[in-house]
């Protein structure tokens, strides 16, 4: 508990943060763009504006990703056998946090900006928020290693598509990618050996189109 408070104080010193206990604003569960319009606008972007997202936007996208939407605790995204092995970590300038769906809050993990080490792709570093999807294999007691990896992969797909549709509805840019510096990032995020990064997804206001790479 004391360690978490120290980390939270450090995060607050680095920039705008949610409430002191990490609690996020209540997510907006009504309104937004009709589903068919959001599907029509869903796209992967590689151009991000560094303007920060608001605490309300961060709350909404995390709830859309894997928030609780029923009294029995089930989520906005399905999970094989309801194991809920996928965790969502949030990379921002102020540090790294873990989303706690039960309390709808951010739990401080590391008071360090890891957006610059997440990938060798420079454009992802410009996004103010990157979600890192981490499969906790300790919650998957059954199945071979290959089956566990496959399950984590398609559960990641469910969550990332929720983020895509929310971003389209909000008029924001997003892009999911498997090209992640997994070993470096896992070490800096202090993950256990049985926690595996499956993908990362950056979210931002749309940036200026990137120039096309010169032809060889």
Could you tell me the residue ranges of all domains in the chain? Answer: 2-206
Confidence band (pLDDT; 50, 70, 90) for 88? very high
CB neighbour list of residue 189: distance below 8 Å, 6 or more residues apart: 89, 96, 109, 110, 114, 132, 134
pLDDT of residue 169: 97
pLDDT of residue 197: 96
State whether residue 148 is helix, strand or coil.
Answer: helix
pLDDT of residue 214: 60
pLDDT of residue 143: 80
pTM of structure: 0.86
Positive or negative: CA dihedral 117, 123, 128, 134 = negative
pLDDT of residue 7: 45
The 10s digit of each residue's pLDDT in 54-85 is 999 999 999 999 999 999 999 999 888 778 88
Name the token pair of 102: 């039960």
pLDDT of residue 173: 97
Name the token pair of 109: 């993990």
Cα 186 to its chain centre, rounded Å, is: 15
CATH number of the 2-206 domain: 3.40.109.10
CA-nearest of 149, 113, 124, 93 to 200 is: 124
Q: What is the mean pLDDT of residues 182-202?
A: 94
């Amino acid at each position: 508990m004391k360690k978490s408070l120290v980390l939270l104080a450090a995060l607050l010193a680095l920039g705008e943060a949610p409430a002191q206990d990490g609690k996020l604003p209540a997510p907006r569960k009504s309104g937004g763009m009709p589903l068919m319009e959001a599907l029509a606008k869903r796209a992967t972007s590689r151009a991000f504006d560094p303007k920060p997202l608001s605490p309300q936007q961060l709350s909404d996208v995390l709830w859309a990703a894997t928030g609780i939407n029923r009294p029995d605790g089930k989520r906005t995204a399905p999970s094989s056998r309801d194991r809920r092995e996928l965790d969502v970590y949030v990379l921002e300038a102020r540090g790294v946090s873990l989303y706690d769906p039960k309390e709808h809050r951010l739990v401080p993990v590391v008071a360090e900006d890891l957006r610059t080490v997440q990938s060798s792709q420079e454009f992802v570093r410009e996004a103010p928020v990157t979600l890192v999807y981490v499969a906790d294999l300790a919650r998957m007691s059954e199945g071979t290693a290959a089956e566990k990896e496959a399950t984590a992969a398609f559960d990641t797909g469910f969550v990332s598509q929720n983020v895509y549709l929310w971003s389209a509805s909000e008029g924001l840019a997003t892009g999911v990618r498997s090209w992640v510096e997994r070993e470096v990032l896992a070490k800096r995020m202090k993950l256990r050996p049985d926690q595996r990064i499956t993908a990362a997804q950056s979210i931002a206001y749309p940036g200026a189109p990137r120039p096309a790479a010169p032809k060889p």
